[in-house]
Structure 1
C-alpha cells in the first residue's frame, strides 16, 4: 500500500513539473473517420486540423470529437465552407493557437464563440468573408491575440472601441473592405502593442488623424488604394515611431509643406500611383535623418524635385519612373545624391543628359533609364558612376550607334563579380543610321565606325594609376628639394 502511495506521489510530482516546464506531450490525431470530412496531421507544435467544403453541422461534430482530449491544436483551418454564423461555445474545451475561417460566407460571430479560447489564441484570420462590422463583443476576451486578419470583408465603418480588449495585438489588417469612416476612438485599446496597421483598399477620402494619433507604437501604416485627395500637416501627428508609410494609388495631386514633419523615424515612403504634380520644397521636412526609400513613380511630375529632396541626405532608393520628366538639370542630384544606390527614371520623356547629371551620385549601383527618348549617352556623363554601377538599363531608347557608346561595352566586360548574368541577358541596341540596322551594344562595330578604341579602366586600375602618379609627384618633389 505504501509503495502504491509513493508511485502516485511520484506521478503527481512529475505532472506538476511538466506543468511548470510546459512539457511536450506527444500529440496524436484521432481516427480519421471520427472527424470526417475534416483532416488532421501532426506538426511540431501540435495538430493541424483542416476542414474544407463542408457545413456548420459537420464542423461542430468534429469539434465535439476533439474536445476533452488535452490536445494542442496549433492550426485550425476552416476554409471554403458554408459557415454563415460562428455559434457560441463551438470551441469550448479546445486549445487552439491559430484559427483561420477563410472564404466561408461568415457574417455573424456570436459573442461566446471565441471566449473559451481567448487565453490560448495568438492568430485569428477571418479574411474573405461577409462581415459588415467588427464583432467587438466576440473579440474582447482574446487577451493573447497577436495577429488579426480581417481582409476582404464588407466592413463599412470602424465604430468606437471596435478592438477593445485586444491589448496584445501587434498586427491588424483590414485590406479590401468598404471602410469610409473611422471613429476617433476606433483603435482605443491597441495603443500598447500595435506595430502594423493595414487600411489599404478601402474608401477613405482623408487620413483618420484622430483615430491614428494614439498609436505611438505603430511602425508600419498602409493606406494604399484609398481615395485620399489631400494630405495636410498634422495628419500623422502622434505616429512618432512610424518606420514605413504607404500612400500609393490614391488621388493625391500635391505634397504640401511639412506634411510628414512628425515622422522623424520614417525610413520608407510610398507615394507612387497618384496624380502628383507639385511637391513643396519643404514637403519632406522632418525626414532628414532616416528616410532611405522614396517611391514617387506613376505620377505627373515634370522635373526632379531637387529642392524638396536636397534635405534627404540619407536617401538610398529614389523611384521616379513613369512620370513626365523631360529635362534633368546639372544639379538635379546635388546635395542628396551621395547616398543613393538605386535610381529609377524609366518611362519618362528624357531626351538628353547634361554633362554633370550624375556627378554627385557617388554610391550609385542601379540606374534605370529604360524607355526614354535618349539618342546619345556620352562616356563623360557616365564616367563618374561607371565604377560603382552594378546594373544599368538603357533599353528601349532610340540610341544612335556612335563611338561614345563603347563605355557600355567595356563596362559589361568589367562586371565580373557584379550582376553579370542578368545584364548579359538584356538586349540593348543602337541604330546605325545609314545602314538602317540595329546593333547590340555588346557588339558595337567600332572598326566600321572608325572609332579610337579606348581601353576600359576599372576602379582598381584607376586607383593604382592615381597612386602611381602620386608616387611620381612625391619623387619629383623630393628631387627638387634636394
Structure 2
C-alpha cells in the first residue's frame, strides 16, 4: 500500500468526515463520527459484519458508486440506533437487501443497480420511510403488498425501469404517497383501479411509456392531483370525462392525438380549467389527425373554444344591462389567464396550420 493510502486509512482518534476515492483500508476506531459518513466513489465490494460497530450514532450513511452486490444486513445494521438516510445507489445489487434492523430509516436510495423485482413486504419493517428511490434498475415485477405498512411514505421513484403494468394491490400500503414517478417504463394501459390505494398523490409522472389506453375513471380517486405528465406516449384519444376534477398541469406533448369530435370534451376541459399542456422548453402539443387537423396545435383549438366561450357569455349578458359589463370583464380576464399560460397573444390569434 502506498503511503498516502495508508495515511487515508488510519484515521483513529480524530474527526474524520470524508474519505476520497483512493481508499483501500479504513480504520474508524475511536472517532467521533456522530451524524454523517460518506464512502462514495470507492471500490468497496465487501462490508464486514462489524464494519460500523464504532459509529452507532450515524444518521446518514452514503455508500454510492462502489461495487457492493450484497450485504449481510443483520449484524451490519444492528449497530445503528439512529440511521435515517441510506444511499446504496450505483452498486451491483440484484435484489433489495433487508433493512428490518433499521426501524428509524426515512430515506433509502438504490438507484442504478441491477434489481429486477420488488418482493412482497420488502420495506414492511421500515414504517418511518418517507422516500424510496429505485430509479434506473431492471425492475419488471412488483409483488402485491411490496409497500405494505409505509404509512409515512411521501415519494416513490421507479423511473427508468421495465414495469409493464400496475395491477391492483401493487401500490397498497402507501396512503400518504404524494409523488409517484413511473417515467420511462413500459406501461401500456392504465386500468380503472390503478391508483385507488394512493389517493393523496399530487404529482404523477407517466412520461415516456407506451400508454395507449387510459380507462375513464383512473384519475378519479386523485382529488389532489396537480401535476400529471403524460408526454411521449401513444395516446390517440381520451374517453369523455377522463379528467373531472381540476388538474393544473397535464403534459400531453409527443402523443399522436386524434383531434376529432371525440376529443371536444378535452378541449373544453382544458380551457375551462386553464390547464397547462406543455412546458416552455418542450415541443407544443400537435394533432396527428384527422387529416384536416393534422399538424394543428392543440392550443389553437383551445383559443377557438375560449373565444366561443367569450362570445356566448357576451351574448347572454345583453339581456341584462346591469350584468353585461361584468360578464365581458370576467370572460376577458379568463382569456388573459390563458395567454399567461402560453395559449396565444391576443384574442384574434387563431391559426389553422402547424408551427
SS of the residue 1:245 aligns to:
strand
Gaps of 5+ in 2: 311-355
Q: Deviations over 1:221-254 (max 9, x none)?
A: 000110001125xx21221111100011111111
SS across alignment from 2:258 = coil
Q: 1:301 to 1:141 in 2, by over 3 A?
A: same
How has the CA–CA distance of structure 1 residues 445 and 402 changed in structure 2, closer, same or farther, with 3 Å as cutoff?
farther
Measured against aligned partners, the alpha-carbon deviations of 1:32-58 in whole angstroms (never above 9, x if no partner) come to xxxxxxxxxxxxxxxxxxxxxxxxxxx
Q: In 2, Cα distance between the equivalents of 1:240 and 1:380?
A: 43
Q: Structure 1 residues 174, 311: CA separation in 2 closer, same or farther (over 3 Å shift)?
A: same
Using the size of structure 2 for normalisation, the TM-score is: 0.78
What SS does the corresponding residue of 2:299 show, helix, strand or coil? helix
**Alpha-carbon offset, residue 308 of structure 1:** 2.4
What CA deviation, in whole Å up to 9, does each residue of 1:358-393 have, x standing for no partner? 111111011011111000124410123xx1x23221
Classify the secondary structure of the residue corresponding to 2:256: coil
Find the aligned partners of 2:278 and 2:190 in 1 and give their Cα distance.
Answer: 30
CA distance 1:221–1:444, change in 2 (3 Å): same
Match of 2:51 among 182, 186, 191: 186
Deviations 1:308-341 (A, max 9, x none): 21221111111111111111111111122x2000
Select the residue among 342, 353, 359 that pairs with 2:203.
342
SS in 1 for 2:170: helix
For residues 331 and 203 of structure 1, do their structure 2 counterparts lie closer, same or farther at Cα, with a shift above 3 Å needed? same
- The Cα shift of 1:413 comes to 6.9
The secondary structure found in structure 2 opposite 1:172 is strand
Name the residue aligned to 1:150: 19
Q: Superposed, which structure 2 residues align to 1:447-466 within 5 Å? A: none
Deviations 1:193-222 (A, max 9, x none): x11111111111113413223112111000
User: Could you tell me whether the CA contact under 8 Å between 1:204 and 1:227 is conserved in 2?
Assistant: yes
> Larger radius of gyration, structure 1 or 2?
1
Distance in 2 (CA, whole Å) between partners of 1:168 and 1:424 is 45
Q: How far apart are residue 261 of structure 1 and its match?
A: 1.8
Q: 1:181 to 1:425 in 2, by over 3 A?
A: closer
Sort the Cα spacing of 1:405 and 1:295 in 2 relative to 1 into closer, same or farther, 3 A: farther
1:68 is matched with none
Counterparts in 2 of 1:405 and 1:165: CA distance versus 1, 3 Å: farther
Name which of 162, 165, 177 aligns with 1:303: 165
Partner of 2:91: 226
Q: In the TM superposition, what are the counterparts of 1:235-384 in structure 2 within 5 Å? A: 235-287=98-150, 289-336=151-198, 338-384=199-245
Maintained 8 Å contact 2:251/2:278: no
| Cα distance in 1 between the residues matched to 2:255 and 2:60 | 41
Q: Does 1:399 align with 2:257?
A: yes
Map 1:33-182 → 2, pairs under 5 A: 106-109=4-7, 135-136=9-10, 139-142=11-14, 145=15, 148-155=17-24, 162-182=27-47
For 1:431 and 1:267, locate their aligned partners in 2 and report how far apart those are by CA, in whole Å: 41
TM-aligned CA distance change 1:308 to 1:410, over 3 Å: closer
CA RMSD of aligned residues (A): 2.9
**Higher relative contact order, structure no. (Cα contacts within 8 Å, ≥ 6 residues apart):** 2
Structure 1 residues 63-95: Cα deviation after superposition (integer angstroms, max 9, x where no partner): xxxxxxxxxxxxxxxxxxxxx85xxxxxxxxxx
Q: Is the 8 Å Cα contact of residues 63 and 89 (structure 2) preserved in structure 1?
A: yes
Structure 1 residues 168 and 446, CA gap change in structure 2 (3 angstroms): closer
SS in 2 for 1:367: strand
- Between the aligned partners of 2:213 and 2:29, the Cα distance in structure 1 is 58
Query: SS of 1:318's equivalent?
Result: strand
1:205 is matched with which residue: 59, 63, 69? 69
Distance 1:197 1:382 in 2: 42
User: Alpha-carbon deviations, 1:81-135, whole Å to 9, x = none?
Assistant: xxx85xxxxxxxxxxxxxxxxxxxx4342xxxxxxxxxxxxxxxxxxxxx5xxx2
Aligned residues: 307
Tell me how far 1:269 sits from its aligned partner: 0.4
1:454–1:216 Cα change, 3 Å: farther
Larger strand share, 1 or 2: 1
Q: Provide the residue aligned with 2:288 in structure 1.
A: 431
Cα distance between partner residues in 1 of 2:55 and 2:94: 27
Task: Give the TM-score normalised by the residue count of structure 1.
Answer: 0.58
In structure 1, runs of 5+ residues without a counterpart are: 1-83, 86-105, 110-130, 456-482
